[in-house]
Structure 1
Amino acid sequence: MKKVFFGLFIILSYIFIVGIFFTNKMMYIKKKTDKEIIERETMLELYNQEEFDALEKKHFSIPSRFGYLLKGSLIEPHGTNRYIILCHGVTVNRLNSVKYMNLFIQKGWNVLIYDHRRHGESGGKTTSYGHYEKFDLQSIVHWLKQEAGDSIVLGIHGESMGAVTTLLYAGMVEDGADFYIADCPFSELEAQLLYRLKAEFKIPSFLVMPIAKPFVQLRDRYSLKEVSPINSVVNINSPVLFIHSKDDDYIPSQMTQQLYDKKIGTKKLYIAEKGSHAMSYADNREDYSKVIDDFFTEIGL
């Protein structure tokens, strides 16, 4: 009998340790500091502190439906009704969006940058890889349309987790933007976790995923299956530009290909020849910019 109880204790301990460890890694993923982001972006010549400081910004703070505040900045250098919202990736914040902000400002667009939940100055206790973030994006869209008017031409650009958030939002009933740009998203959170589990931990998935999935549901109140751009993309009516680096070894470019194939209606795909994860623009600046111009031309902008 003691052996039975001891065996049960070992099994329950393993389940608890694995469940807590992997969900902590997900929910409380380590974030980069402002200093780290600025140093990296400055080194890549994608960020200039003096130029950024010189821009006139309208800082805002709006409530999320989940009880915290979302912080961001609206930059309106142009007297136009064209606006684009930028959604950053996991571990960074709106400072990482400055390179894209500069790109779109050069193209004549006003820009909104903001911090996702649990990133930068925004509140929120956990990172949900697009699940709760899509509702926060919805709140950002509503605020911008109240601020600038319902008649604006609106685009949303997302990178990595921000691209997932963008696609999940776009697949909601609302479909509130005129176009979307999704740079290096994953197709499904569960598939991405399986890929990273194999790459980082070399552990068979059957020893982790059956435990991690119910722990996420229990601790953060959502299912991994709900974070599925591949299911959302079929509901997107507006045009989508999909972007990914061919050699991305963090999120495989095949995932973007799957999303592109599944999207119905107007769409465009750009697979960058150079660049690791989330580096398509940094390593292919002229091509990246031209692809966006071509996309705008194709959709009548």
Structure 2
Amino acid sequence: MKKRVIYIVGILSSLVTAILTIFGVVATNRLMYLKVKDPEVIIKRETVAKRFDKTWYEFVRKEELWIHSPNGYLLSAIYLKPLDTERTVIICHGVTENKINSIKYARLFERLGYNSVIYDHRRHGGSGGKTTSFGFYEKTDLQAIVHYIREVIGDNALLGIHGESMGAASTILYAGTYEDEADFYIVDCPFSDFTEQVLHVMRTVTPLRSTKVLRIANLFLKVRDGYTLNLVSPREVIKNVDKPMLFIHSLEDDFILPYMTLEMYEAKLGDKMLKVFDVGAHAKSYNENSKEYEETVVKFLDKYIYSKSRL
């Protein structure tokens, strides 16, 4: 009888272990290998919406860059130079997108007197990297790009960073973690804490509710990709950001909730500005409010950058 109990317990333990292993692998696969959008779909979408002008892109002065990431791969970037200036903005796209999605912001900054660097995050577009880490490794990639561009434009040229969604979270993580070389930041719909973001998405699209699920995911994520969800928390480093930052969100965003931007705005010390649009789904603030969006950027730059500029 005792042997039979031990045998049954062993089978049940093995079954539970197998189930947890399957769940852990599946859950982390959903994060690490999140499906990216087809590049042709992005080009068609942006062209139809008149945010991507193929003729302009073909004839604008530009330089293709391949920048080495400290994480061991090459980052695909394009330095767009429509203007005779060293002023530059690095633009960070959101998850599943690519650098073509950044063109609309490049055109905005062109109107404001800046050249732009657009690039693909790891595992997106033409960049290397096997997994998406939602800012953990992306912040180091951004550091490499910032350092490269600063070397090109010199210490006295204005350098800004614009990030959208995951790109915005990566921007904050970069600015709050490293000795930054940028002069200003614009972050559009960033999440403040990835654990909370995953919980929100999980509870929205699945029947799962318990935080115990994330403990399992964290264990497998640490083993498989070298980090845990709690290490991707812009909220924890925002207080370290000294340079001026413009926070943007929209009330209609139900993917990354607006409160995340509001709490980081409150926590940010020093020069800062907040703009919350009434209209616009996730990462659609510019698409739905392009004129007011640009006006907000101008006000931010006039107030915090040009009055103190080195140029």
Q: Do the structures match in fold with TM over 0.5? A: yes
Q: Is the 8 A contact 2:60 2:81 kept in 1?
A: no
Cα offset for 1:32?
Answer: 0.5
Q: Verify: 1:192 aligned to 2:209, yes or no.
A: no
Q: Which runs of 4+ in 1 moved over 3 A?
A: none
The answer to whether structure 1 residue 7 and structure 2 residue 12 are counterparts is yes
Is contact 2:184-2:305 (8 Å) kept? no
In the alignment, the residues of structure 2 paired with residue 125 and residue 300 of structure 1 have an alpha-carbon distance, to the nearest angstrom, of: 38
- Which residue matches 1:223? 228
Of 126, 132, 138 in structure 1, the residue corresponding to residue 131 of structure 2 is: 126
1:16 equivalenced with 2:21 (yes/no): yes
Deviation for aligned residue 1:249: 0.8
**Match status 1:61 vs 2:66:** yes
- 1:263 is displaced (CA, Å) by 0.4
**Which whole-Å CA distance do the structure 2 matches of 1:139 and 1:232 have between them?**
19
Match of 1:296 among 293, 301, 304: 301
The DSSP-based 3-state class of the residue aligned with 2:217 is: helix
Structure 2 unmatched runs, 5+: 1-5, 307-311
Q: Match of 2:97?
A: 92
User: 1:106 maps to what in 2?
Assistant: 111
Measured against aligned partners, the alpha-carbon deviations of 1:231-277 in whole angstroms (never above 9, x if no partner) come to 11000000100001111011001100011011011101111111100
| Bigger Cα displacement from structure 2, 248-257 vs 201-210 | 201-210
Aligned to 1:27: 32
* 256-265 or 38-47: bigger deviation: 38-47
- Residue 182 of structure 1 pairs with residue 187 of structure 2: yes
Distance in 1 (CA, whole Å) between partners of 2:94 and 2:195 is 18
* Residue pairs, 1:270-285, within 5 angstroms: 270-285=275-290
CA distance in 1, matches of 2:290, 2:231: 34
Alpha-carbon distance between aligned partners in 2 of 1:22 and 1:96, rounded to the nearest angstrom: 28
Q: Whole-Å Cα distance in 2 between the matches of residues 187 and 135 of structure 1?
A: 18
Aligned to 1:262: 267
Q: Is the 8 A contact 1:197 1:205 kept in 2?
A: no
CA contact under 8 A between 1:59 and 1:72: conserved in structure 2?
Answer: yes
Given that 1:74 and 1:111 are in contact with CA atoms closer than 8 Å, whether structure 2 keeps it comes out as yes
Indicate which of 239, 244, 250 corresponds to 1:239: 244
Match of 1:78 in 2: 83
Q: Secondary structure at the match of 2:160?
A: strand
Larger radius of gyration: 2
What is the deviation of 1:10? Answer: 2.1
1:154 corresponds in structure 2 to 159
How many corresponding residue pairs? 301
* 1:106 partner amino acid: R
Query: 2:102·2:118 contact (CA, 8 Å) conserved in 1?
Result: yes
Q: Distance in 2 between matches of 1:186 and 1:49?
A: 32
User: Distance in 2 between the 1:172 and 1:203 partners?
Assistant: 33
Match of 2:309 in 1: none
CA contact (8 A) 2:150 2:181 kept: no
Task: Quote the Cα distance in structure 1 between the aligned partners of 2:29 and 2:255.
Answer: 19
In structure 2, C-alpha distance between the alignment counterparts of 1:157 and 1:300, rounded to whole Å: 15
Q: Supply the distance in 2 between the matched residues of 1:46 and 1:173 (Cα, whole angstroms).
A: 33
Q: Distance in 1 between matches of 2:34 and 2:228?
A: 18
Q: CA RMSD in A?
A: 1.0
Q: CA separation in 2, counterparts of 1:49 and 1:114?
A: 17
User: Do the aligned partners of 2:150 and 2:159 also contact (CA within 8 Å) in 1?
Assistant: no
Q: Measure how far apart 1:207 and its partner are.
A: 4.6
